[in-house]
Structure 1
């Protein structure tokens, strides 16, 4: 009969299994592809099936749960690590010693996380002569597995990826090139003797490349060992922190408290959706998709969503005054306001073609003006251009006014838009002076990425700033169909604590049928 330790271990695995959704299971299957055969993985229906296969191969047992911790870390489900006795920092420390997910598999999974639906369609089209006919590829992970089965993609041959990303995404091509350069620059090892552990700075050449468009850090020549596979992104993140002067050992970092988010009511979420305008401002086709998605996601997060369509500048101001005085904030944890419109630097347009300052909008909710929200987080997400229009490709429009602006005032950065008081967050779809993009059927890049990342990362216990960093990454990798139009969101904040939304009981809207 199974002992008490074995019973508790099984109960722990069942607990983790219950927390993971279908997308998480697909990610775990993919990361385990080098450890378990394709044939066995194809029959997997749940995370528990994967755990059993790992137990059968002696990769996982009650004495050693590190591989499971590594897998949860790789899919960024950090909130579950504590159930195994780990933290994100502890897993990072032991990856060089015990990591089993190869750099090749890490690279592929990182690519899959950044391949948008539009990119996926283009890749399938480019590879149509190499893929089985009538085989529907629903996700980037499925496509990568299919390429491996077809022999078009292996650990030592990533040429197919290089060819498609040359046309589809230069950013993802750089990721593949970094892996290939690291792979070919190393001598072949014929033995599996243990190697001395060393820090990333001793076994990697990290270079900073500057260009007018970006500053990037590239991982040129890491030390790779089958059973000591480093996390390819770990070196990047550590280097970024060192460059900014913010890196210190995890054990020395003070704990940051979190905002209280366990009240009887989560909060109010206002959605101002300006679609049709007076005068020469064009209709914002596709914005209804954004408003609908914001309603679904913030309702799922427990907020009471109120949507207002086609508001004039005066109506926007009146709305702010009404909610500034509202008693509904009492007993609620937070306040959220999403504004979808055309815009200029530091301002958004009302339906009447008149500008409203973002700072004016936010200033209604300072502690002095709205005491009910004192010391509570106030989040503002603005989907609007912050500069002049640019040449627009087919199917993608810019949220900026078509004629030249003759009355543009001095540029206002997002940080200048935030009131000087604490507890504000402003998420801008684009940096000051630039346009933001909107698909006329699928909605804007920024709002769709925001809703997607909230659904993915809130159940994993991530805080709002970590989620917005993922949104930045998602949007920055998107490109229009001609490969010439890019966008970079920008958050600014005076938050004093971590903001972590409680994990909703129901499944995310994208998984509801």
Structure 2
């Protein structure tokens, strides 16, 4: 397929500054450094790739891969007449004459996507003296740091000792992820022979991926699994039950006199609305429901005909305790009662389709006092919500359910009145950034676990670990196009 010049320009105009930086980073083995630095737009970069023979008439494999790597699946369909599945098939086998992103560079790119702001700041502090101060400004990104480290000889495909040392000082899990990714690539790559390199002009030492992992460290067996059908538009309903005002509970139940309003929950609700709208779900939000109203609302959607939909999502934002969520009147609703409403026996039109529940609610008693962090529990002035082990009887004993809980036994879960909860915010951010790459939702929840577990409370002691429980039998991938 030959891409007209105007179409190439149209693709470039769809890409923002951060995406251009990502494309340039992923292309460093294929374009000279100075030529890359001179590229001020994606169109400049495409021209440089054409000059080097990486993009040419009839061979757009590298352009397709680049767009796939940065998650712009929409551009594949709109301008290249391609799809995520086509690119993944191309990446499963080394294709003679096709330029590819080396695994080492793709691994660094994925790592840069997941590093937190605090971790980025730590990298800058530790590299002060090793890199020029002009390259360690507030605007410097993690990709910028990797590039400068490569220029200084501090980083390379066979030179990871400095990066390892930095990761061990900042967060050992960063290095564990790199090591896991390298091991995974080592198991799944095959070297292109010297003869093939000579005939194709591929970069020296290039490794062709035999399988594209969802992210380094993930189990690639999942790539062989069938995926749930997610082609209906809308995909299904995203039901948001958002409880904020608990005045009724404080007035009606003496033991709940300290059950405070859940300030910050609207930030979570807005984030959920935003991301699931982009994922083609019909948003239905209900606010400040009593226990009885929660039951009635869930029953409405249980009885709805989902025959022409592919999925159902329910997000619950409330106070709670072990296996329970509270209505705003302080009355209890068992989580299992809600999930069981959507079993095959109770909702036949969702048979064989994924039923997804995200629960942001305390599952135990809170502790510590604070000002800016509050709890989803009934303790006076509590600053955190303490979770207990998720009870497996909260999820029906049948296939196609996924339940994501914010808390795990002996860990704490935070809600900020200004920024929302750690769990829901991390969940929405990772869904928004990773779904365009075609990642499995289970892999995304693993990344959410990793991010949330890295955080600490105000006293640098409080921790939180979410827990997904599932009976899915296929890959669950939320489409963006």
Does TM-score exceed 0.5, indicating one fold?
yes
Q: Alignment RMSD, CA only?
A: 4.8
What pairs with 1:326-341 in structure 2 (closer than 5 Å)?
326=304, 329=306, 331-341=308-318
Question: SS state of the match for residue 369, structure 1?
Answer: coil
SS at match of 1:295: helix
Matched, 1:32 2:27: yes
Contact 1:25 1:46 in 2 (8 A): yes
Once residues 217 and 389 of structure 2 are traced to their aligned partners in structure 1, the CA distance between those partners, rounded to angstroms, is 32
- Equivalence map 1:111-150=2 (5 Å): 111-121=111-121, 123=123, 131-132=133-134, 135-137=137-139, 139-145=141-147
1:294 aligned residue = 272
| C-alpha separation in 2, matches of 1:346 and 1:332 | 29
TM-score, normalised with respect to structure 2: 0.71
The answer as to whether partners of 1:310 and 1:350 remain within 8 angstroms in 2 is: yes
Aligned match of 1:272 in 229, 234, 241? 241
Where do residues 8-27 of structure 1 align in structure 2 (5 Å cutoff)?
A: 8=3, 23-27=18-22
Distance in 2 between residues matched to 1:400 and 1:138, nearest whole Å: 40
Shift of 1:30: 1.7
Q: Note closer, same or farther for the CA distance 1:258–1:178 as it changes in structure 2 (3 Å cut).
A: closer
Aligned-pair distance for 1:281? 3.1
- Map residues 152-191 of structure 1 onto 2, 5 A cutoff: 153-155=154-156, 165=167, 168-174=170-176
Check conservation: 1:100, 1:226, Cα contact below 8 A. Answer: no
- Alpha-carbon distance change, 394 to 137 in structure 1, aligned in 2, over 3 angstroms: farther
- Aligned match of 2:298: 320
Unaligned runs of 5+ in 1: 182-191, 198-224, 505-513
Q: Deviations over 1:22-77 (max 9, x none)?
A: 54433221222354345433444554432321221233435665544654565466
Q: Which residue of 2 aligns with 1:382?
A: 359
Partner of 1:213: none
Do the aligned partners of 2:73 and 2:436 also contact (CA within 8 Å) in 1? no
TM-score between both structures, scaled by the size of structure 1: 0.68
Q: C-alpha distance in 2, partners of 1:172/1:377? A: 32
User: In the aligned structure 2, how far is the partner of 1:68 from the partner of 1:467?
Assistant: 25
- Out of 348, 352, 358, the residue aligned to residue 325 of structure 2 is 348
1:368 shift after superposition: 3.3
Equivalent residue, structure 2, for 1:210: none
Q: Offset of 1:166 from its aligned partner?
A: 5.2
Structure 2 residue ranges without an equivalent (≥5)? 184-191, 198-202, 251-256
Aligned length: 447
Partner residue in 2 for 1:51: 46
Q: 1:119 to 1:284 in 2, by over 3 A?
A: farther
- CA distance change for structure 1 residues 93 and 480 in 2, over 3 Å: closer, same or farther? farther
Q: Partner of 1:309 in structure 2?
A: 287
Query: Residue in 2 aligned with 1:216?
Result: none
Q: Give 2:205's match in structure 1, choosing from 212, 227, 233.
A: 227
TM superposition shift of 1:360: 0.8
